Chains A and B, each alone.
Chain A
């Protein structure tokens, strides 16, 4: 158990809908990262927050957005869902704002299926 908690574990929704994935980082960790994993694309970095502020942005679509709240939990909002958004979405956390030299700890992921 990494200490990173993600909900829901599984989610099935229809195209065009909107979903919210939630992540609670490890106690004491200030950075939260979101990754998308699909079969053909590997682990794609979406976005990073540090202590409530956006720190880095990766391959995140405009239909997706995220935020980190004062209690440090984070939410990833996915809207106007398409079939291609079906993937495993991981949240990870670390103590520092920089991943270099610091282990990042992954949650168990949220499986999203868009039908």
Chain B
């Protein structure tokens, strides 16, 4: 079957850097996405990797290694507002709907 595994919780302090890992098993590969969800809110798109390497978007970067079926989200210069859940996601077979990991809850403290 298809699955995405990520840690359930990560804690960090303001100004620090944190990395959230994701390993995936999918039938075929159609890219890895990252979404952020604040408590009770709608998930919002952060980043997408189709090819190996690093994609940078401001303080957030995402990395992909297709040979290792592995990716990570890197958050730099952490702020309190970054406290949220972060989900990695990948399309199901034939590139249709996204399936999501169970999410990593990031808690940023001062």
Contacts and interface: CB of A to CB of B under 8 A. Distances in A.
Contacts of A105: 45
B31 A56 contact: no
A97 B42 contact: no
A42 B103 contact: yes
A106 B95 contact: no
A99 B95 contact: yes
Contacts, number: 69
Interface string B74-110: 0000000000000100011011111111110000000
B44 A2 contact: yes
Given A43-B87, A45-B92, A99-B91, A33 B43 contact: no
A42 B101 contact: yes
Contact of A106 (B30, B43, B101): B43
Nearest to B43: A106
Interface residues of B, number: 24
Interface of A: 2, 4, 33, 35, 41-43, 45, 48, 55-56, 58, 88, 90, 97-101, 103-109
21 contacts: A2-B44, A42-B87, A42-B100, A42-B101, A45-B97, A45-B99, A48-B96, A48-B97, A55-B96, A55-B97, A56-B96, A58-B92, A58-B99, A90-B42, A99-B91, A100-B30, A100-B50, A100-B95, A101-B30, A108-B41, A109-B42
